[in-house]
Structure 1
Amino acid sequence: MKLLNIAIRIKSKAPMQTLDQVMVTRVAGLDGDFRGKPGKRQVTILSQEQWDLACTEIKADLPWAFRRANLLVSGVSFNKDMVGKLIKIGHLILLITREADPCPRMDQQYPGLTQALMPNWRGGICCQVIADGRVKIGDKIKIVG
Structure 2
Amino acid sequence: MGKIEALCISTRRGIQKEAVPAARFIVGWGIEGDAHGGDWHRQVSLLSADKIANFRKCGAHVGFGAFGENMVVSGFDFAKMPVGTLLRSGEVLLEMTQIGKECHTHCAIYHSVGDCIMPREGVFARVLQGGILQTGDELVMEERKEPRPYRAAVVTLSDKGCRGQRRDESGPLIASELEKRGFEVVEKLLLPDDEEQIKVQLCRLSDQRQVDIIITTGGTGFAPSDITPEATLAVADRQVPGVAEAIRAESLKKTKRAMYSRAVSVLRKKTLIVNLPGSPKACRECMDVFMDTVFHPLELLRYGARDCAEQ
Task: Tell me the TM-score normalized by structure 2.
Answer: 0.42
1:102 Cα offset (Å): 6.4
Q: Which moved more, 1:93-102 or 1:36-45?
A: 93-102
1:46 Cα offset (Å): 0.8
Task: Note if contact 1:88-1:141 (Cα within 8 Å) is conserved in structure 2.
Answer: yes
1:7 is matched with which residue?
Answer: 8
**Count of residue correspondences:** 139
2:92 is matched with which residue?
Answer: 92
* Greater relative contact order, per chain length (Cα 8 Å cut-off, separation 6+): 1
1:141 is matched with which residue?
Answer: 139
- Higher Cα radius of gyration: 2
1:82 Cα offset (Å): 2.5
* 2:113 alignment partner, one of 111, 114, 132: 111
Aligned pairs for 1:31-70 within 5 A: 31-56=32-57, 58-70=58-70
Secondary structure of the residue aligned to 1:66 is coil
Q: 1:15 to 1:78 in 2, by over 3 A?
A: closer
Unaligned stretches of 5+ residues in structure 1? none
Cα distance in 2 between the residues matched to 1:96 and 1:27: 13
Cα distance in 1 between the residues matched to 2:135 and 2:115: 26
1:7 Cα offset (Å): 0.8
1:60 Cα offset (Å): 2.1
Q: 1:15 to 1:81 in 2, by over 3 A?
A: closer
Cα distance in 1 between the residues matched to 2:114 and 2:99: 19
Secondary structure of the residue aligned to 1:64 is coil
Q: Which amino acid aligns with 2:94?
A: L
Task: Note if contact 2:9-2:17 (Cα within 8 Å) is conserved in structure 1.
Answer: yes
Cα distance in 2 between the residues matched to 1:2 and 1:39: 26
- Deviations along 1:7-50, one digit per CA (max 9) or x if unpaired, are 11111123422211111012431110011102210000111012
Secondary structure of the residue aligned to 1:51 is helix
Unaligned stretches of 5+ residues in structure 2? 144-311
Q: 1:73 to 1:81 in 2, by over 3 A?
A: closer
1:112 Cα offset (Å): 1.8
Cα distance in 1 between the residues matched to 2:91 and 2:49: 23
Q: Which has the higher helix share?
A: 2
2:72 is matched with which residue?
Answer: 72
Q: Which has the higher strand share?
A: 1
Cα distance in 1 between the residues matched to 2:115 and 2:135: 26
Cα distance in 2 between the residues matched to 1:84 and 1:43: 14
Secondary structure of the residue aligned to 1:82 is coil
Cα distance in 1 between the residues matched to 2:46 and 2:15: 18
Secondary structure of the residue aligned to 1:141 is strand
1:28 is the counterpart of 2:29? yes
Q: Which amino acid aligns with 1:95?
A: E
Q: Which amino acid aligns with 2:26?
A: T
1:59 Cα offset (Å): 2.6
